[in-house]
Amino acid sequence: MLQERAWIARELHDTVSQTLYAITLGAVRARSLLELNEGIQVQRIIDDVLQLAGAGQTELRAILTDIRSDRLASGGLTAALESLATDARTRSGLDIRLSLAGEPHVSGATKEALVMISREALHNVVKHGAADRVDLVLEAKAGGLVLLITDDGRGFDPASPRPGHFGLQTMRERATAVGGTLGLISAVGHGTQIRVSVPGRVDKDG
């Protein structure tokens, strides 16, 4: 419960909180311009504020959906990943391509961790990546499973500090909690790849 509360706090901080702050700044700026009778500039700011308000509502609905839903209720891990991809395609128009092995023999906790890591990774691509395509691959390797999430977006420098962003830390914590590891490859202008390795296996007839 404490872990989920921490996750909710991070999600709200990285999404709705920042959007509301931007709305506040816009409203303050509009009020100042009204005092100067800058009507055209005020109209533009109001349009921006309305767009931000709509984005904030979308972000909050997405978080509430994730809190209330159990993506593993039926169909297992592969179905949950397909559902995530469908949701992201619908909301963002991203070209998301799946290559999924058969349903893996791992614990429910491991499946849940992989779903939540994938969800966070896709969220980051939509919000920060400016990507056109994402490849989501689940495959069996010697000694375990590997989940790869690769995008063709703007990328970033992993060595640069990113204050206020907890997504990568959360994904690493989820992987570690189920005995796995998480690796990151990214560079400015060259996209990003998340690689998660966990113990497990897949049916050969999968």
pLDDT at 206: 42
Backbone angles phi and psi of 154, in degrees to 5: -75, -20
Q: Are residues 125 and 96 in the same domain?
A: yes
Domain that holds residue 19: 2-67
Return the CATH number at 123: 3.30.565.10
Please identify, among 67, 85, 102, the residue that sits at the C-terminal boundary of a domain: 67
Q: What are phi and psi of 198, to 5 degrees?
A: -135, 155
- The DSSP line for 147-200 is EEEEE-S----TTS--TT--HHHHHHHHHHHTT-EEEEEE-TTS-EEEEEEES-
End-of-domain residue from the set 18, 38, 67: 67
Q: What is the pLDDT of residue 91?
A: 77
Question: What are 121-179's pLDDT values in tens digits?
Answer: 998 888 788 899 999 999 988 778 999 999 999 999 888 876 555 678 888 988 999 99
Predicted local confidence at residue 33, as pLDDT: 79
Q: Residue 156's closest CA among 125, 135, 133, 114?
A: 125
Q: Where is the domain boundary, 51, 67, 83?
A: 67
> What are the pLDDT digits (tens) for 19-73?
777 777 777 778 777 777 777 787 788 888 877 777 777 777 766 666 555 556 5
The pLDDT score that the predictor gives to residue 1 is 64
Q: What is the mean pLDDT of residues 81-85?
A: 91
Question: Is 83 found in the same domain as 45?
Answer: no
DSSP conformational letter for 48 = H
Of residues 114 and 52, more confidence is placed in 114
- Total domain count for the chain? 2
Q: How confident is the model at residue 205 (pLDDT cuts 50, 70, 90)?
A: very low
- pLDDT score recorded for residue 109: 87
114 lies in the same domain as 142: yes
Band of pLDDT at residue 88, cut at 50, 70 and 90: confident
